[in-house]
Amino acid sequence: MSANTAKTRSRDERFVYQDDDAIEKPFNWAQLRRLYTYMHPYRKQLMPVIIMMVIGTLTKLTVPIIMGLVIDNILNAEKGFGDFGTLALAGAGMLALYVVQWASNTYRIKYTNIIGQKVIYDLREHLFRHIQKLSFRFYDKRPAGSVLVRVTNDVNALQDLFTNGVVNLLMDCIQLVGIVVILLALNVKLGLAVMITVPIMFIVSTSLRKRIRFAWQDVRMKQSRINAHLNESIQGMKVTQAYVQEKDNMGFFTHMNTDNIKSWNKASALNQAFGPIIEVTAAIGTCILFWYGAHLIQSDAITVGLLVMFANYIGNFWEPINRLGQMYSQLLIAMASSERIFEFIDEEPTVGEAKTARQLPAIKGDVTFDNIVFEYEKDRPALKGVSIDVKAGQSIALVGHTGSGKSTIINLLCRFYDPVQGRVLIDGIDIRDVTIESLRSQVGIVLQDTFIFAGSIRDNIRYGKLDATDDEIVKAAQAVHAHEFIMSLPDGYDTQVEERGNVLSMGQRQLLSFARALLADPRILILDEATASIDTETELRIQEALKTLLSGRTSFMIAHRLSTIRHADDIIVLDHGRIVEQGNHEELLARKGVYNGLIEAQYRFL
Ligand SMILES: Nc1ncnc2c1ncn2[C@@H]1O[C@H](COP(=O)(O)OP(=O)(O)OP(=O)(O)O)[C@@H](O)[C@H]1O
């Protein structure tokens, strides 16, 4: 395409994030039952909370009855206004009821919060434990941001439901049913008259509720996109700054932020419309009560005290309805979040462990790749029939053009993926027949982009063997020549490094990862060599470190540096997923084939 006809991609086309699917089904009982399984372990602790909730609701429902009785029997002119002693007793009774109500409510709120937090804690732990087990294929398909959002935002969205939602829902239902029963028991006609507005309110609010549901879903989608973009922006900050893309990036962020505010305002306006509907219905109900009530008093069908009881109950009647309406939105948000959480929890690791999987015994280090075929995506093979036989203690260098399949071989040896065809054997045992833990704990890996965790240098080395003593850590660092630079840091081994180790140079990070691998002391070691050019002195130091690290182990190196390749026992040259040459440095040079070409190309750049 010529430059003139080339279409410039708009900002929106550049940043494409997969939106979560809109949830069409408003309610899913199976999902609710599944959510309950997280509360089930706390059912014993939940019992006293429910008892307190029932006590609180009953006392609340009793107060208006006492009030009505006081008006009819004590403060009644016809009955001579009763005596002060009875009035004081009634007052004390009411006070006692209020105290019981306060105490039970306090207990309920405190313990529902505690139980709710425990449930959320368990759910988050379960989710995290599970996603740690998921295979690389799962992460290949998803941006890190979207995984992060599920463990944070989606779990948080369930917090309200578990902390007070469930108990409040129960309480409101009991209160509502209690009031309806009492009103009808007191006077059926007046009871039905004041509740006549309920169906009307229900019809009006149903259509509104649907719109509220969609509006909140929209808000969540927009927030998810912001999170995904934020995550990507922070991870790619260096590239953004290097290419001076801050303005463009900011523009896109502002666009998303504005979108989010707009949808939030819309959802919250719809939510607020729910309140006035209830208020108007409540006002109509009250008008009916006093108009029809007065009429009934005049005809001596009811007493003043009964009207007061009615007025009190009606006052308490709309409150749970309003809360239940709001709770409905909350429940829908929770449904959408739980669906996303369960989607992850239901994801099975593609690299699974057979039920019969046994422990891989302490290995010697023989490795066989037996006619391996592998594809990341259907019909795009990355390895097309690769066979390699490695004797324990041998060092193997994997070389080849970019995309030739070097990393894929390593990925299969660690069982990050399983081959489509063929077998990988360690000491003659198919690695699919052993537990993943027993396999990976005996295979060490040093990646090109050495990951440094936030913490001290010491802790970063200790990652290779969590129970290593300080002395072992220093010895490992000395063996790979990292000790010297560590001691030159302000706090030596206690120097704090940030996530990804930004304060350390590339070479230093690599030496640290060597120390980490040496401490782990695996029989098989995999090294993905850094391509970045480092100064000759560091290069020499790394070569020395490598010698220590590799001695006595089977090693696979994705090698770029001539100095590393030259010393390998066997060099495997890959091209488009096939082994095209194999032998030692001298043999391969003599063949004047692909390897020779690669080496010559390297020299040309020097
Ligand atoms: N996660 C993945 N999903 C889909 N395809 C992939 C994935 N990883 C690698 N591939 C493809 O598989 C092929 C082999 O990739 P591999 O990473 O093994 O190459 P490599 O030789 O290690 O390359 P490099 O030297 O650039 O790291 C390439 O065509 C690549 O595009």
Mean pLDDT computed over 494-498? 85
Decide whether any atom of ligand 1 lies within 6 Å of the 403 Cβ.
yes
Q: Is the pLDDT of residue 606 over 60?
A: no
Ligand 1 touching residue 213 (CB < 6 A): no
456 CB within 6 A, ligand 1:
no
- Looking up residue 409, the CATH number of its domain turns out to be 3.40.50.300
Least confident span in 139-143, 312-316, 353-357: 139-143
Instruction: Verify that 260 and 391 share a domain, yes or no.
Output: no
In this prediction, residue 15 carries a pLDDT of 57
- 447 and 319 fall within a common domain: no
Name the 3-class secondary structure at 397.
strand
Q: Quick one: 149 and 295 in the same domain?
A: yes
Which atom of ligand 1 is least distant from the CA of 411? 18
Cα of 404 from ligand 1 centre, angstroms: 7
**Domain around 173:** 11-345
User: Residue 29: what pLDDT?
Assistant: 82
Judged by phi (left if over 0) then psi (alpha if -120 to 50, else beta), residue 552 lies in left
Task: Assign residue 248 the CATH number of its domain.
Answer: 1.20.1560.10
377 lines ligand 1 (CB under 6 A): yes
- Residues 383 and 499 grouped into a single domain: yes
Q: What is the average pLDDT across 522-546?
A: 73
With a CB cutoff of 8 Å and minimum separation 6, the contacts of 194 are 183, 285, 288, 289, 292, 310, 314
Helical spans, DSSP H, in 467-561: 470-479, 483-487, 506-520, 536-550
Predicted local distance difference test score (pLDDT) of residue 518: 86
Lowest mean pLDDT among 34-48, 265-279, 388-402, 404-418: 265-279
Same domain for 372 and 249 = no
Residue 532: the pLDDT is 52
ipTM: 0.96
Mutate to test the pocket of ligand 1, among 406, 449, 579 (most ligand atoms within 8 A of CB): 406
Q: Give residue 75's pLDDT.
A: 67
Identify whether 355 is part of a domain. Answer: no
Q: Each residue of 275-329: pLDDT tens digit?
A: 788 788 888 888 998 999 898 888 888 888 888 888 889 888 888 887 887 777 7
For all residues of the chain together, what is the average pLDDT? Answer: 84
Ligand 1 geometric centre to CA of 519 (Å):
30
Nearest CA to ligand 1 atom 6: 376
Residue 563 sits in the same domain as residue 432: yes
pLDDT-derived band at 578 (thresholds 50, 70, 90) equals very high
- Express each pLDDT in 82-131 by its tens digit: 667 777 888 888 899 999 999 999 998 899 999 999 999 999 999 999 99
Where do we find the tokens 């239901």?
346
Give the DSSP H or E segment for 461.
Answer: helix 457-462
Between residues 25 and 404, the one the model is more confident about: 404
| Residues 343 and 371 sit within 8 Å (Cβ to Cβ) | no
For the chain, how many structural domains are there in total? 2
Report which of 364, 207, 347 is spatially closest to residue 274, judged by C-alpha positions. Answer: 207
406 close to ligand 1 (CB < 6 Angstrom): yes
Please, is 9 exposed, middle or buried when counting C-beta atoms within 10 Å of its C-beta (0-12, 13-18, 19+)? exposed
CA distance 540 to 480: 11
pLDDT tens-digit map of 455-481? 889 998 998 888 889 999 998 898 888
The Cα–Cα gap between 344 and 350 comes to 13
Q: Cβ distance 249 to 365 under 8 Å? A: no
From 368, 387, 448, select the one nearest 577 (Cα to Cα).
Answer: 387
Distance from Cα 228 to the centre of ligand 1, integer Å: 24
Average pLDDT rounded to a whole number, residues 574-586: 92
> Under 8 Å CB-to-CB from 33, ≥6 apart: which residues?
none
Task: Output the pLDDT for position 388.
Answer: 94
- Å from CA of 135 to ligand 1 middle: 16
Rg (CA), the chain: 35
Ligand 1 center to 577 CA (angstroms): 10
Beta-strand relationship, 395-400 and 570-575: parallel
Last residue of a domain, which of 345, 380, 410?
345
Among 60, 108, 103, which Cα is nearest to 315's? 60
In a domain, 593, yes or no: yes
Sequence-ordered alpha helix ranges (H) in 134-165:
136-141, 144-149, 155-160
